[in-house]
Amino acid sequence: MSVMGRILALDFGRVRTGIAVTDELQLIASGLTTVSTCDLLAFLKTYTNTETVDSFVVGLPKQMNNEPSESEILIVPFITKMRKVFPQIAIIRVDERFTSKMAVQSMIDTGLKKKHRRNKALVDEISATIILQTFLNTR
């Protein structure tokens, strides 16, 4: 079995971005970390220097009526920068409509205390993991 690169998923936010990653066989999505969005490009450069990344999966925030949500206006310019910095890495968009709710629900289901459920960075990381798992399940 040939080793592939990892797939990195981003739950992009104005302040923080949750990041999830697959194993090298691209089977399992795991939360990686949450970084300040202002440091995101630098983090991705460092990460791709040490790990092979086949593609980036970026959440596509939509409203219930399928219109792009207001955070999309922040994401599009960032993706433009990503394409310049990482021209060899594919960027795939995945509908992220329910990921934050699902992240909080999964925290409740696993018995995390309310104090931990208020940890926005953890919610962002779990949301990125859900975005990545959604992508893996549908490809």
In sequence order, the 6+-apart residues with CB closer than 8 A to the CB of 124 are 11, 13, 16, 17, 18, 34, 103
Q: Is 72 or 70 the better-scoring residue by pLDDT?
A: 72
The CATH number given to whatever domain includes residue 108 is 3.30.420.140
The pLDDT assigned to 49 comes to 97
* Residue 1 lies inside a defined structural domain of this protein: no
Model pTM score = 0.83
- Average pLDDT (105-131) is 78
What is the tens place of the pLDDT at every residue in 32-53?
999 999 999 999 999 999 999 9
* Residue 71 lies inside a defined structural domain of this protein: yes
- Average pLDDT (111-119) is 70
Domain total of the chain: 1
Please give the Cα distance from 121 to 15 (Å, whole number): 10
